[in-house]
Amino acid sequence: MRFPIPSRETTPSEYAVLVVFIAVVFVILGVIALIVAIRAPADKHDLAVALAHRGFWLLGIGAAIAVGFWLFRRFRDY
């Protein structure tokens, strides 16, 4: 059984959904990482600091994707 190959082009709305989904995933993973880092026991301080560092990076990447996409959509319309 073969999977059907789509015969149409991808619409801009489908790309928008994909970009927003990716940005939300980055933000959610960043928040989860920060929560886990805050709740880490004292004997795992070094790992908690590393996890918090990664969490802030994930939040920043998610925010940068969202802002970049917003700016792209805003400037493309003009």
Could you give the count of Cα atoms lying within 13 Å of 61 in the half-sphere of its Cβ? Answer: 14
Give the predicted TM-score (pTM) of the model.
0.83
Categorize the per-residue pLDDT at 71 as very low, low, confident or very high, splitting at 50, 70 and 90.
very high
Domain ranges of the chain: 22-76
Contact indicator for 33, 60 with CB cutoff of 8 Å? no
pLDDT digits (tens, 9 = 90+) for 20-50: 999 999 999 999 999 999 999 999 999 999 9
Q: Which residue has the higher pLDDT, 1 or 60?
A: 60
Categorize the per-residue pLDDT at 11 as very low, low, confident or very high, splitting at 50, 70 and 90.
confident
Q: What is the mean pLDDT of residues 47-70?
A: 97
